[in-house]
C-alpha cells in the first residue's frame, strides 16, 4: 500500500513536470449552450389549460411534452478546424437529452475546449446508428428515460405531444415521435431521420478562454417544427405518428427549427 | 503468467468461445466483458418474474431450457394477465452470432432483446425504470450487482448487460451433426447423410452456415395475404418486405415446436409438407420457392424423410442439460 502511494506520487511528479516542460500553457475553457423552446415569438409553456397556440393552418393546440436528443456537437474555428465534443461508447458523454420539463437539461456545458474564437456550430438531432449498436447505454441514453423504441431498436430523436381540438385521436391528443436511423446494407428503403443542424454565429463569435465561459442561446421554434422544408403539419389529418416513415417531414422541419438567438 | 491465464481460460465455464464451425460473433463483448458474477446475476434475472408488471412472467416462462429456450406449449406467447401475444416465442441459442432478433428483426442487439419483451403489453408489460426500482429494493440483488459491477448503483445498463452475459454464453454447438462435421468421431447413418446432402441442395439458400440461418428475412409462402402480420415490413416500412420473417436457425429444431412465426405447424413433418406442397403465392414470395410453374421445394417423399432424419442430428443434448443455464437455486 505504502509502496503504491509513493509510486503514484512519483508518477504525478513526472506527469506534472512533463506538462510543465512541453507546451506553453494552452488554457482550455468551457462553452454553455442553452436550448430554449419557443412557439413563434413566445416562450413555450407546457400543459396550459387552454389551447393557446395556433399552428400555421389555424389549428389551436397546447403542448404537454417536448423532448429531443442533441449529439455530435462540433464547434468550427475560423481556420476551418473543429473542436469535437467527445462521445463515449456507453452514452455517458456527448449525448444530451433536452427536456422541456427539466430546465437543467436545457443548458449544456461543453468542457475542455481549447481557447479561441469559434464561428459556427454543428450538431445532430438524434442518436446515430454507431451509438445504438454499442448496446445498453447510460445517462441520457438510459432506456429507463422512456425514449427507447423497444420494438424497433433505437431512440425517439424528437418527441412532441399535446392536445389539439381538431385531432381525431382519443382525448384530442397529437403525438409525433420522430426516430429511425437504420442503415442496413442492401436495404436502401430504410428511413434515416437523423438530421445535422449547422448554425453560424454570424460574426458574433464566442471567444472561449479559461477566464470566460461564453453562452450560446439557441431557440427551437415549435411552429417551425410544424411548418418548414418538410411539410405543413395538420393535427386534423394525421395526429398520431410513431414510425420513421411517418415522420420524415417533421424531421426535415426540425432541422430548420433551430436558430442562434444571441450570444453572451 | 500469460501461459497460466490461457490454460485457465480453457477451463473457465464463463469464457465465451466461438465454435470453429461458426461465423464470427457479433456481440459487443468489448462493452460488456463476461464475468462469473455478471453471468450468475443475469441467470437470476432471467428466471425472475420481477421483470414483469405483476411478477407472474419471467423470461423463462416462454423460454424453457429443455426445449432450447423455446416455448413448447403455446402457439402464441402468453404474457401477464394471460394475454395472448401475436407470435411464437423463438428459441434462445447462439445469440452472440446474430444481427437481428425477433421474427421481424426489429431488435438489433442482444442487450435490447429483454427491453422488447419487458415493454410489450402482451408480454411483461413493465417499464425499465420500474424494474430498476424493484431490483434496488432487493438485498440479494444489491449484493449480486455489487459483485458483478463493483458498484452499488443498479441501473438498466447493468441489468441488461447481466442478462446479455447469461444469454450470449448460450452457445449450442455440440449436436451429433457438429461432432460429425468437426471430425470428432461421430458417425451419421445412411439416411442422415442422404438428408444432409438433400438439405445442402434444397435448404441452405436460407438455412445457411452452421448457424443454419442466413439471418435474413424471407416470405416462405405461408400465406397469400398479410393483414394479420406483415412481418419485416412493420420495421422497414417497405412493401417489398411484406410477409417476410426472420429465417430461424434449425439448431435443436426437433425440440422447438411449434413452428413458424405464428406456431401454426406442430411437427417438422408438417413443415416439410408445407415446403413440398403447401406454399402459397404472393408478390414477395421468396424466389427460391418459385420454380417455373410450381411453387415450393421439389422434394420426393424419400428426400423429405431423409431431411427429417438429418434435422434430428441438430439436437444438442448437452446444451439443454447444461447446468449453467438452469433455474438457479435462489
ipTM computed for the complex: 0.89
Chain B interface test: which of A90, A127, A136 (most B C-beta within 10 Å): A136
Structural domains in chain A (count): 1
**pLDDT value of residue B304:** 97
The string of pLDDT tens digits covering residues B127-154 is 999 999 999 999 999 999 999 999 989 9
pLDDT surpasses 80 at A15: no
Per the structure, the complete domain to which residue B209 belongs is given by 176-317
- Is A4 part of any domain? no
- Arithmetic mean of pLDDT, B172-199: 98
CA B318-B14-B208 angle, to 5 degrees, is 55
End residue of a domain, out of B172, B189, B207: B172
pLDDT surpasses 80 at A65: yes
Which residue in chain B is spatially nearest to A245 when comparing CA positions?
B237
Do B168 and B187 have their domain in common? Answer: no
Structural domains in chain B (count): 2
> What residues of chain B lie within 8 A of the CB of A139, using their CB?
none
Q: What is the mean pLDDT of chain A?
A: 90
**pLDDT value of residue B153:** 94
Percentage of chain B exceeding pLDDT 70? 97
Do B192 and B305 have their domain in common? Answer: yes
pLDDT surpasses 90 at A195: yes
CB contact under 8 A, A133 and B156: no
pLDDT-derived band at A26 (thresholds 50, 70, 90) equals low
pLDDT surpasses 80 at B264: yes
- Arithmetic mean of pLDDT, B281-293: 92
CB contact under 8 A, A143 and B128: yes
**Min CA distance, B153 vs chain A (Å)?**
12
Residue B105: name the closest of B209, B208, B205, B218 by CA: B218
Q: What is the mean pLDDT of chain B?
A: 95
End residue of a domain, out of B172, B204, B222: B172
Per the structure, the complete domain to which residue A111 belongs is given by 27-263
Least confident of A180-184, A212-216, B6-10: B6-10
- Interface contacts (A, B; CB < 8 Å): 88
**pTM of the predicted model, to two decimals?**
0.91
CB contact under 8 A, B157 and A90: yes
Do B136 and B28 have their domain in common? Answer: yes
Q: Is B86 an interface residue toward A (CB < 8 Å)?
A: no
Chain B interface test: which of A131, A152, A192, A245 (most B C-beta within 10 Å): A152
8 A C-beta contact, residue B26 and residue B97: yes
- Is B330 part of any domain? no
End residue of a domain, out of B172, B198, B219: B172
**pLDDT value of residue A129:** 86
pLDDT surpasses 80 at B125: yes
Q: Is A122 helix (H, G, I), strand (E, B) or coil?
A: strand
Q: How far apart are alpha carbons B57 and B149 in whole angstroms?
A: 26
Least confident of A11-15, A213-217, B267-271: A11-15
Neighbours of A25 (CB within 10 A): 9
- Arithmetic mean of pLDDT, A5-20: 44
Neighbours of B241 (CB within 10 A): 24
Do B113 and B93 have their domain in common? Answer: yes
Neighbours of B297 (CB within 10 A): 24
- Is B134 part of any domain? yes
Here the cell at position A233 is 403539419
**Min CA distance, A116 vs chain B (Å)?**
35
**pLDDT value of residue A27:** 85
CB contact under 8 A, A143 and B240: no
Do B266 and B160 have their domain in common? Answer: no
pLDDT surpasses 70 at B5: no
Task: Tell me if the bond preceding B50 is cis, omega within 30° of 0.
Answer: no
Q: How far apart are alpha carbons B196 and B181 in whole angstroms?
A: 11
Do B156 and B215 have their domain in common? Answer: no
Residue B225: name the closest of B152, B138, B284 by CA: B284
Q: How remote is the C-alpha of A25 from its chain's centroid?
A: 32
Helices B190-202, B301-311: axis angle to 10 degrees equals 100
The string of pLDDT tens digits covering residues B38-84 is 999 999 999 999 999 999 999 999 999 999 999 999 999 999 989 99
Q: How far apart are alpha carbons B124 and B52 in whole angstroms?
A: 4
Q: How far apart are alpha carbons A5 and B138 in whole angstroms?
A: 37
CB contact under 8 A, A152 and B235: yes
pLDDT surpasses 50 at A60: yes
8 A C-beta contact, residue A192 and residue A9: no
Which CATH number do you get for residue B290? Answer: 1.10.760.10
> What residues of chain A lie within 8 A of the CB of B32, using their CB?
135-136
**pLDDT value of residue B10:** 57
CB contact under 8 A, B116 and A151: yes
Amino acid at each position: 500500500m505504502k509502496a503504491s502511494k509513493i509510486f503514484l506520487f512519483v508518477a504525478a511528479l513526472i506527469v506534472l513536470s512533463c506538462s510543465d516542460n512541453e507546451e506553453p500553457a494552452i488554457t482550455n475553457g468551457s462553452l454553455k449552450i442553452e436550448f430554449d423552446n419557443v412557439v413563434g415569438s413566445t416562450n413555450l409553456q407546457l400543459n396550459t389549460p387552454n389551447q393557446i397556440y395556433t399552428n400555421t393552418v389555424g389549428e389551436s393546440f397546447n403542448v404537454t411534452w417536448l423532448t429531443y436528443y442533441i449529439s455530435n456537437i462540433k464547434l468550427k474555428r475560423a481556420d476551418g478546424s473543429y473542436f469535437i465534443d467527445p462521445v463515449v461508447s456507453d452514452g455517458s458523454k456527448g449525448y444530451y437529452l433536452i427536456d422541456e420539463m427539466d430546465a437543467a437539461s436545457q443548458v449544456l456545458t461543453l468542457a475542455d475546449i481549447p481557447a479561441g474564437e469559434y464561428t459556427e456550430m454543428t450538431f445532430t438531432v438524434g442518436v446515430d446508428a454507431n451509438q445504438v449498436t454499442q448496446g445498453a447505454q447510460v445517462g441520457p441514453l438510459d432506456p429507463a428515460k422512456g425514449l427507447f423504441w423497444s420494438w424497433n431498436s433505437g431512440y425517439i430523436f424528437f418527441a412532441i405531444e399535446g392536445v389539439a381540438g381538431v385531432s381525431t385521436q382519443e382525448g384530442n391528443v397529437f403525438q409525433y415521435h420522430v426516430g429511425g436511423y437504420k442503415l442496413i446494407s442492401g436495404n436502401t428503403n430504410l428511413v434515416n431521420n437523423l438530421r445535422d443542424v449547422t448554425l453560424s454565429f454570424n460574426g458574433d463569435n464566442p471567444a472561449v478562454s479559461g477566464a470566460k465561459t461564453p453562452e450560446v442561446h439557441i431557440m427551437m421554434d415549435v411552429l417551425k417544427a410544424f411548418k418548414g422544408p418538410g411539410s405543413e403539419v395538420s393535427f386534423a389529418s394525421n395526429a398520431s405518428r410513431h414510425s420513421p416513415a411517418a415522420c420524415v417531414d417533421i424531421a426535415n422541419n426540425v432541422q430548420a427549427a433551430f436558430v442562434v438567438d444571441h450570444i453572451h | 503468467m500469460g501461459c497460466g491465464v490461457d490454460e485457465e481460460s480453457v477451463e473457465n465455464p464463463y469464457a465465451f468461445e466461438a465454435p470453429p464451425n461458426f461465423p464470427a460473433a457479433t456481440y459487443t463483448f468489448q462493452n460488456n466483458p463476461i464475468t462469473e458474477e455478471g453471468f450468475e446475476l443475469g441467470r437470476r434475472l432471467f428466471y425472475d418474474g420481477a421483470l414483469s408488471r405483476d411478477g407472474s412472467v419471467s423470461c423463462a416462462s416462454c423460454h424453457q431450457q429443455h426445449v432450447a429456450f423455446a416455448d413448447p406449449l403455446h402457439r402464441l406467447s402468453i404474457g401477464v394477465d394471460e394475454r395472448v401475444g401475436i407470435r411464437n416465442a423463438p428459441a434462445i441459442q447462439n445469440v452472440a452470432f446474430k444481427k437481428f432478433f425477433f421474427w421481424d428483426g426489429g431488435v438489433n442487439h442482444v442487450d435490447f432483446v429483454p427491453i422488447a419483451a419487458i415493454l410489450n403489453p402482451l408480454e411483461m408489460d413493465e417499464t425499465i425504470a420500474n424494474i430498476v426500482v424493484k431490483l434496488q429494493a432487493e438485498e440479494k440483488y444489491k449484493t449480486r450487482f455489487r459483485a458483478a459491477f463493483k458498484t452499488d448503483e443498479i441501473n438498466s445498463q447493468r441489468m441488461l448487460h447481466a442478462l446479455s452475459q447469461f444469454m450470449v454464453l448460450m452457445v449450442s454447438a455440440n449436436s451429433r451433426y457438429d461432432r460429425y462435421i468437426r471430425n470428432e468421431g461421430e458417425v451419421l447413418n445412411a439416411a442422415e447423410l442422404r438428408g444432409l446432402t438433400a438439405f445442402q441442395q434444397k435448404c441452405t439458400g436460407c438455412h445457411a452456415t452452421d448457424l443454419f440461418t442466413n439471418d435474413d428475412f424471407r416470405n416462405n409462402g405461408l400465406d397469400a395475404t398479410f393483414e394479420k402480420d406483415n412481418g419485416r415490413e412493420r420495421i422497414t416500412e417497405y412493401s417489398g418486405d411484406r410477409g417476410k420473417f426472420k429465417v430461424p436457425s434449425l439448431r435443436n429444431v426437433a425440440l422447438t415446436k411449434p413452428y413458424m412465426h405464428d406456431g401454426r405447424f406442430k411437427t417438422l413433418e408438417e413443415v416439410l409438407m408445407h415446403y413440398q406442397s403447401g406454399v402459397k403465392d404472393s408478390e414477395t414470395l421468396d424466389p427460391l420457392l418459385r420454380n417455373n410453374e410450381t411453387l415450393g421445394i421439389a422434394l420426393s417423399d424419400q428426400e423429405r424423410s431423409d431431411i427429417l432424419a438429418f434435422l434430428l442430428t441438430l439436437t444438442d443434448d448437452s446444451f439443454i442439460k447444461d447446468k449453467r443455464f438452469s433455474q438457479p437455486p435462489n
